[in-house]
């Protein structure tokens, strides 16, 4: 039967296989609103803590915990619906690059928050922690989706180079 298959047909089939693999890797797991919702929760928690009022801190922590759980439900559901096969996710070096990228992102967020908060605090601006959290949260909400896309692009490149 394979002798009856035209090379062009075989190439089309291989292209389709590559396209489906890429489709799995690039499948959207994080909805666009997820990043902003997490950012809002973080700012609200920081504002509650910075208020230094016990009741507000309690409410802030409760809201943050409950809100984080709620917004993570659709994400974990989407992630479980069609997770990339381990052969795609565990290519040599990909885990290290992912962890490195994640750690870099965390350091940038922390750096932005600390630099902003300390600068504002030194300048006597009220609520420096909340403002710093807001700035870092915007970086998180903008940079998060970019990081996910970069990770997907890396996996697609590696999967493609393996044929």
Partner 1 sequence: MITPRFDELIHAPTRLSLVAFLAATGWADFAVLRDSVGLSDSALSKQLTTLEHAGYVEIRKAFVGKRPRTSARLTADGRTAFDRHVLALQEIVARAGGSVVPSSRSSDKAME
Contact residues toward partner 1 (CB under 8 A) are: 1-2, 5, 7, 10-11, 13-28, 81-86, 88, 153, 156, 160-161, 163
Three-state DSSP class for residue 122: helix
Tell me the CA distances in angstroms from 34 to 9, 99, 149, one per residue in order: 42, 21, 15
Residue 148 to residue 142: CA distance in whole angstroms: 11
Nearer to partner 1, 53 or 85 (CB): 85
Q: How far is the CB of 146 from partner 1 (least distance, A)?
A: 15
Q: Is 104 exposed, middle or buried (0-12, 13-18, 19+ CB in 10 A)?
A: exposed
Q: How far is the CB of 38 from partner 1 (least distance, A)?
A: 21
Q: How far is the CB of 161 from partner 1 (least distance, A)?
A: 8
Nearer to partner 1, 59 or 148 (CB): 148
Helix (H) or strand (E) holding 91: none
Q: Please say whether the beta carbons of 148 and 163 come within 8 A.
A: no
Nearer to partner 1, 18 or 67 (CB): 18
Provide the terminal-to-terminal Cα distance of the chain, rounded to the nearest Å.
23
Nearer to partner 1, 12 or 53 (CB): 12
Q: How far is the CB of 151 from partner 1 (least distance, A)?
A: 14
Q: How far is the CB of 113 from partner 1 (least distance, A)?
A: 31
């Amino acid at each position: 039967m394979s002798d009856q298959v035209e090379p062009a047909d075989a190439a089309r089939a291989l292209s389709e296989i590559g396209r489906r693999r890429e489709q799995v890797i690039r499948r959207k797991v994080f909805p666009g609103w997820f990043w902003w919702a997490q950012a809002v929760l973080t700012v609200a928690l920081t504002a509650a803590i910075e208020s230094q009022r016990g009741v507000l801190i309690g409410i802030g922590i409760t809201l943050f915990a409950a809100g984080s759980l709620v917004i993570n439900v659709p994400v974990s559901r989407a992630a479980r619906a069609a997770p990339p096969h381990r052969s795609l996710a565990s290519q040599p070096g990909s885990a290290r690059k992912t962890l490195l990228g994640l750690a870099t992102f965390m350091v940038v967020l922390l750096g932005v928050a600390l630099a902003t908060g300390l600068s504002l605090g030194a300048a006597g601006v009220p609520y420096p922690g909340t403002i710093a959290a807001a700035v870092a949260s915007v970086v998180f909400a903008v940079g998060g989706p970019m990081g996910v896309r970069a990770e997907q692009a890396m996996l697609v490149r590696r999967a493609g180079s393996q044929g």
